[in-house]
Structure 1
């Protein structure tokens, strides 16, 4: 037994509810579509058989009606020849043909009713199938998006990423050490510009010191 046991189960089913309860919505919608397509083939096959039966009934009914007309003509011919007995027999055969045609007409009405119902069921099933396929497409897109996001999240939280970042930190520390070694060679070695700048600074300090001494000596004399 498939997802649906009968045609009415498919027509009356709530696809949203089925998908909400499914552990694997992608698999469920695929099974639903397969069941719908299989049922659609069966219903169309039944409809085709009914249409063939209808055509056969129409042919039989037309034949009985034609036979009834012929028996009518034969009855009239027999009466014209004063053969009432033959006319009566011909009318009896005509009655049998008319009864058979009437029975076929009633059967034909039932067949046409069933064909109409089948056509309506086919339309409903096709609508359901279109809806299911649209939902299948949406579910597949959501699944693809979710899997892509999950893969990114897993990569972001993987040990490989953490290990790579740790290596970057180690490389940066090594570069810092190399730069520190380079700077250490510059300590104690002064360029010509540095030495001249140092002389200028010392000269300013000497000038300020001389000015301070002169000021203090002047203060002592005033006292």
Structure 2
């Protein structure tokens, strides 16, 4: 069980890390704002329903009141006509309707209280939603700015690393160039001193000896010419 618990903890930790990496705070804020708007709409719908119910009861009460007024008038007419029985009947019906009106008044009063509560809740929630919206947009702007700054910093860091690699490549190229130049100079020196035969020159050993003799003869001739000029 201990091993399974550890494995479960590791999996949860990795999943949490993955979720954190994938989560965009701006999307979370927008989602929360949408849910609050839904709550606000539900409260407004509740206010509308309660108001509608109250209006319906008020209309019903108005009709009952009209009937009561009519029965009251009928009772008076019956009394004038010396019809107490009709007057009694009208008053009995009036009493029944009056009780219904009183019941409606109670319901209407309850709905008015509920309406007041919902209207107050709607105002409070509207204020909170607006405050959240302003805060949400501020946080989103700050997050976007921070995200842009991170991307710029990462780009600059990447350029720095790339330039460092380029610098190292240049150093290696310069070192190789210096080595090649030194090697070329050494080979030239060896060729000049005769230590290393110039492979680019043609001919064998006899040709080279003859060339040396011609060079020596040319030098002797030049020396003889110079002596004649000096003696003159």
TM-score under structure 2 length normalisation: 0.60
Name the counterpart of 1:121. Answer: 128
- Alignment of 1:92 with 2:85, yes or no, is no
Deviation at 1:177, TM superposition (A): 5.8
Deviation at 1:176, TM superposition (A): 6.2
- Alignment of 1:146 with 2:153, yes or no, is yes
Q: How does 1:1-223 map to 2 (within 5 A)?
A: 31-82=24-75, 83-158=90-165, 161-175=167-181, 178=184, 181=188
Unaligned runs of 5+ in 1: 1-23, 186-198, 204-223
Partners of 1:28 and 1:72 in 2: CA distance: 68
Partners of 1:31 and 1:170 in 2: CA distance: 51
> For the structure 1 residues 163 and 29, does the alpha-carbon distance in structure 2 shift closer, same or farther, using more than 3 Å as the test?
closer
Cα RMSD, aligned residues only: 3.1
Asked if structure 2 preserves the Cα contact closer than 8 Å seen for 1:36 and 1:125, the reply is: no
Unaligned runs of 5+ in 2: 1-16, 76-89, 193-225
Deviation at 1:45, TM superposition (A): 0.8
Deviation readout 1:88-131 (Å, 9 max, x if unpaired): 11111111112111111110011111111121111111112111
Deviation at 1:29, TM superposition (A): 11
Partners of 1:115 and 1:29 in 2: CA distance: 35
Partners of 1:31 and 1:65 in 2: CA distance: 51
Bigger Cα Rg: 2
Partners of 2:22 and 2:110 in 1: CA distance: 46
TM-score under structure 1 length normalisation: 0.62
> For the structure 1 residues 109 and 28, does the alpha-carbon distance in structure 2 shift closer, same or farther, using more than 3 Å as the test?
farther
Deviation readout 1:39-92 (Å, 9 max, x if unpaired): 212111111111111111111111111111111111111122222111111111
Aligned residues: 162
Partners of 1:73 and 1:123 in 2: CA distance: 46
